[in-house]
């Protein structure tokens, strides 16, 4: 009986710790992933919101495309 209770405590503690770690990680910008299927549209949107039109900042376009596609 003691062994069963100890095992359960161990399992709950591990799950709790893992969840807490995930929460902390999710708050870091570096671990947030923005990979989505239409990177071309995403890169275009980035230009529109940052400098007003598609074609206004190719470096940003390429950087967002690359970050999105994971290349």
Residue (12 or 58) nearer to another protein, CB: 58
**Least spacing, CB of residue 13 vs another protein, in Å:** 30
- In the region spanning residues 11 to 70, those forming contacts with another protein, defined by CB under 8 A, are 29-30, 32, 34, 36, 38-43, 45-46, 49-53, 55-68
Q: What is the DSSP string of 2-71?
A: HHHHHHHHHHHHHHHHHHHHHHHHHTSGGG-----S-HHHHHHHHHHHHHSSTTS-HHHHHHHHHHHHT-
Binding site for another protein (CB under 8 A): 29-30, 32, 34, 36, 38-43, 45-46, 49-53, 55-68
């Amino acid at each position: 009986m003691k062994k069963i209770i100890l095992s359960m405590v161990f399992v709950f503690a591990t799950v709790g710790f893992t969840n807490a770690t995930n929460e902390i990680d999710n708050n870091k910008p570096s671990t947030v992933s923005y990979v989505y299927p239409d990177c071309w549209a995403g890169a275009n949107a980035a230009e529109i919101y940052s400098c007003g039109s598609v074609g206004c900042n190719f470096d940003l376009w390429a950087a967002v495309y690359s970050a999105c596609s994971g290349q």
